[in-house]
């Protein structure tokens, strides 16, 4: 379905019982709401109603040109606006990768909209800041961001030779067909630039503005994540004042919803179904 929010048109993948408790699902880079396809059947069977949003820059009708249009406050306002457009007062919120950053921001700024938070792969921004300041290995893991912030250069590197580098980055999500479902949309004119603008619009001030989270929270981290190390994962607890759980998945890379959908779904249910 499509929803109009803040002058933009977003694609939302819906499923589950129409009267079920709502779950807002927020994807990461360079994916889309389809990354939850193997997770949602378990949630639907438990009676939950899911809304998987194709976020700003990923929905073709929500692709503004200015880089500053992709700042974290704008992304958080989109998520809140989509809930409004759906007629949802509050929801369980699940976010992966950049979607986790949006989820952290939503829970911190609008706790009344978030029943429970499940952040996947990316911890609270303050935990990331701590790791970057204290752990040289985290600095090395995050070095790719410098490339992503370079207009034109990043697009050329990632899309050359039929997006070879982008496909290689996504290799752990599964077979060639699964890689293509994410890489091919990024080859559409303007799509990758819009997705990379999330990195280019990112500022230290916006990250620092995400305060402590008081809603019940589960952070899901995997020990083979190439982008997020243990220092950042373990620092996350200090920035949640509500009930907090860290769930570690062994032998799984960064692409948890694709690689480990069943354990992730069970972890979500353990938090949201009581």
Active site residues per annotation: 97, 199, 254
Contact 166, 186 (CB under 8 A): yes
Around Cβ 177, how many Cβ atoms within 10 Å?
7
State the Rg of the chain over Cα: 17
Q: Which residues pair with 24 in a beta bridge?
A: 51, 93
Contact 247, 221 (CB under 8 A): yes
How far is it, in rounded angstroms, from Cα 57 to Cα 197? 8
| Contacts (Cβ under 8 Å, ≥6 apart) of 137 | 229, 231
User: CB-based burial of residue 215 (10 Å sphere; 0-12 exposed, 13-18 middle, 19+ buried)?
Assistant: buried
How far is it, in rounded angstroms, from Cα 48 to Cα 16? 6
Cα–chain center distance at 61: 19
User: CB-based burial of residue 252 (10 Å sphere; 0-12 exposed, 13-18 middle, 19+ buried)?
Assistant: buried
Phi and psi, residue 50, nearest 5° = -110, 145
């Amino acid at each position: 379905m499509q929803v109009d929010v803040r002058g933009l048109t977003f694609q939302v993948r819906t499923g589950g019982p129409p009267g079920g408790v709502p779950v807002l699902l927020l994807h990461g880079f360079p994916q889309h709401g389809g990354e939850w396809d193997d997770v949602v059947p378990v949630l639907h069977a438990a009676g939950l109603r899911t809304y998987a949003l194709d976020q700003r820059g990923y929905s073709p009708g929500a692709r503004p040109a200015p880089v500053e249009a992709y700042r974290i406050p704008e992304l958080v306002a989109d998520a809140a606006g989509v809930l409004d457009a759906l007629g949802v007062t509050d929801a369980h919120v699940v976010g992966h990768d950049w979607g986790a950053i949006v989820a952290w921001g939503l829970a911190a700024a609008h706790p009344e909209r978030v029943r429970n938070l499940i952040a996947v792969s990316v911890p609270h921004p303050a935990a990331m800041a701590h790791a970057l300041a204290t752990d040289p290995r985290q600095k090395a893991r995050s070095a790719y961001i410098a490339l992503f912030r370079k207009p034109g250069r990043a697009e050329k590197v990632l899309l050359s030779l039929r997006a070879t580098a982008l496909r290689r980055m996504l290799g752990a999500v599964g077979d060639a067909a699964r890689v293509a479902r994410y890489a091919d949309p990024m080859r559409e004119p303007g799509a990758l630039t819009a997705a990379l603008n999330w990195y280019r619009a990112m500022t230290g001030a916006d990250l620092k503005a995400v305060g402590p989270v008081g809603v019940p929270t589960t952070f899901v981290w995997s020990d083979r994540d190439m982008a997020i190390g243990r220092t950042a994962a373990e620092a996350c607890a200090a920035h949640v004042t509500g009930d907090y759980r860290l769930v570690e998945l062994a032998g799984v890379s960064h692409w948890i919803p694709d690689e480990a959908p069943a354990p992730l779904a069970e972890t979500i249910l353990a938090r949201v179904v009581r």
